[in-house]
Amino acid sequence: MKKTKQVLTGAEIFFECLRLENVEYIFGYPGGAVLKIYEKLYDVDFLKHILVRHEQGAMHMAEGYAKASGKVGVVLVTSGPGATNTVTGITDAYLDSVPVVIFTGQVSSHLIGKDAFQEADIVGITRPITKHNFLVRDIHELASTIRKAFYLASTGKPGPVLVDLPKDIMAQECEFEYPEMVELRGYKPVYYGHASQIKKAAEKLRSAKRPLLYVGGGVIMSGGTRELQLLAKENNFPVTMTLQGLGAFPGTDEQSLGMLGMHGTYWANKAISNCDVLVALGARFDDRVTGNVNTFAQNAFKIHIDIDPAAIDKNVTVDLPIVGDVKHVIAELAAELNNTTDYSEWWSEINSWRDECPLDYEDNDGRLRVEYVIEKLSNITKGEAVVVTDVGQHQMWTAQYYKFVHPRSNLTSGGLGTMGFSVPAAIGAYFASPGKPVISLSGDGGFQMNMQELITAAAHKLPIKFFILNNSFLGMVRQWQELFHAEKFSFTDLSASNPDFVKLAEALGCKAWSTDNPREVEDCLDKAFAYNDGPVVVEFKVVREEMVFPMVPAGASVENMMVKRLNNQQ
């Protein structure tokens, strides 16, 4: 006897699909176009809905959750402004390849295109900033569309996928059937590298005198950190990482050169300029890494491994491309190598660059500096925390001075550079990893962009440590104004308009305190980590006019690094 299929409403189908996709959390905000979904949500017990205070916060929470867990983040918002408020977060997820599925409410089908109340063409708006998007016009296609959305978001090169849900579709009924398999014409990600290309890469590495592994966030996304570490350790290869790649290889390991690029370490950038074989692993040759592409690693044979064929030769022309999942390709490459080359001369040269220009800062004048706070954090946590940075100077100092040991412990906005990312993303990261300390680092400017989400953290009594590094400036913009814009500090001084952050945090339900004394930093941190009954906000009032060095000016060669020493010579 043929089994009768369930007849469900669109809202019921929606949640049945999420159950089958093992969704744990939805970050969302209700509104008129999604009331049927929220009506059904009232009775759903297999997932938890996190009520945000702004839809941009929902996106960053979903990003933080996805980055920390490797799972798909899920967002649910209403039509019109609810949908358009997600656009910055969607763009952020798109540029950083974060798997998020965004469900937006839409006006009823018969009103689409008629300028109805709270109508916005969110499919048209987000077409350039999503991996794919859908408008569901037929309830019979709802389940298969949601299945495709999760598949697209999480496979190949990950990314955000948007599904627009007209209000009437959620109230209609049909038989429920969830596809076991997804077949999309033209979408066939390649996971294993071409054997002959891998053999060629192994041959070039065996003959190299000055090899270098250039590691991007793709290694972490693919779960390839163990393979990377075996490849590097078995062959004694130096490893440098992008901002998103930090944590793919332990920052405490002697083979780590730290971050490369605009604010990378001196020795990493010198190694890039002097290597003879460069292997890019899950990295896209971003302009903040390469500087002037014509002079980037110009003496090196370049090997590029990436799952996205469109990334090959997009920014830098390479000598040997390998398309495939970097986790599998690294394993295949390591299996081909039987490397006994002595790199002692190459390592000696790299170490001489370390000695020539170490990371340093003034610490004898009694004033509090961001670098000092981050070093203390690194020493206290020993890399066993999830660190979520906002955007600006503190982001770069964290990349330089915090020793990331594990993958998915460094969460930040890279490609879009979105101020306001850290506070909500830290909340999402906590739900992904509740057993780990979660630290949010923000400048005073970025903190104010989504500080309302402290209410969300307080409502759930999340023991997140929110640290504000307050220099009363838009620090990175001020640095550029000093160096390149005639010291005209136009609208970057926040000293007259910043709120009392301690009173603000307390009003939003957090414990809070402040210091400007280096001698009090350890006590403040110990006190913050000792309190776990809810969120803590600590304001560190730091030096106002500090600058991040090394620095490669935009468009310049990485060989033209600006280096500031303690004697103030550049």
- Structural domain span for residue 104: 7-175
Q: Looking at the structure, tell me whether residues 535 and 412 fall in a common domain.
A: yes
Please report how many Cα atoms fall inside a 13 Å half-sphere around the Cα of residue 334, on the Cβ side.
20
Query: Residue 3: its pLDDT value, please?
Result: 61
Query: Residue 1: its pLDDT value, please?
Result: 45
Query: Residue 339: its pLDDT value, please?
Result: 81
Q: Closest Cα to residue 202, out of 54, 320, 72?
A: 320
Query: Residue 567: its pLDDT value, please?
Result: 38
Residue 556 lies in a domain: no
Q: Looking at the structure, tell me whether residues 171 and 219 fall in a common domain.
A: no
434-24-247 Cα angle (round to 5): 50
Sheet holding 536-541, edge to edge: 410-411, 386-389, 438-443, 465-470, 536-541, 511-515
Helices and strands, number each (H, E), in the chain: 23, 20
Inter-axis angle of helices 370-381 and 393-401, to 10 degrees? 40
CA distance 226 to 216: 14
Coil vs helix vs strand at 87: helix
Query: Residue 66: its pLDDT value, please?
Result: 98
Q: Looking at the structure, tell me whether residues 285 and 427 fall in a common domain.
A: no
Query: Residue 2: its pLDDT value, please?
Result: 53
| Residues labelled catalytic | 55, 117-118, 167, 476
Query: Residue 9: its pLDDT value, please?
Result: 98
Taking a C-beta distance cutoff of 8 angstroms, is the pair 107, 166 a contact? yes
**pLDDT less than 70: residues of the chain:** 1-4, 565-570
Query: Residue 559: its pLDDT value, please?
Result: 87
Query: Residue 570: its pLDDT value, please?
Result: 36
Q: Looking at the structure, tell me whether residues 20 and 62 fall in a common domain.
A: yes
**H helices present in 407-520, as ranges:** 422-432, 444-447, 454-459, 475-484, 501-507
Query: Residue 280: its pLDDT value, please?
Result: 98
Q: Closest Cα to residue 88, out of 410, 413, 408, 394?
A: 413
Q: Looking at the structure, tell me whether residues 239 and 125 fall in a common domain.
A: no
Q: Looking at the structure, tell me whether residues 322 and 386 fall in a common domain.
A: no
The model's pTM: 0.97
Which region, left, alpha or beta, applies to residue 301 given φ > 0 means left and ψ of -120 to 50 means alpha?
beta
Taking a C-beta distance cutoff of 8 angstroms, is the pair 558, 269 a contact? yes
Residue 36 lies in a domain: yes
Residue 154 lies in a domain: yes
Please, what is the end-to-end C-alpha distance for the chain in angstroms?
A: 82
Strand partners, 304: 280, 321
CATH number, position 132: 3.40.50.970
Q: Looking at the structure, tell me whether residues 138 and 268 fall in a common domain.
A: no
Q: Looking at the structure, tell me whether residues 98 and 156 fall in a common domain.
A: yes
Distance of CA 126 to the CA centre of its chain: 20
Q: Considering its fold, how many domains does the chain have in total?
A: 3
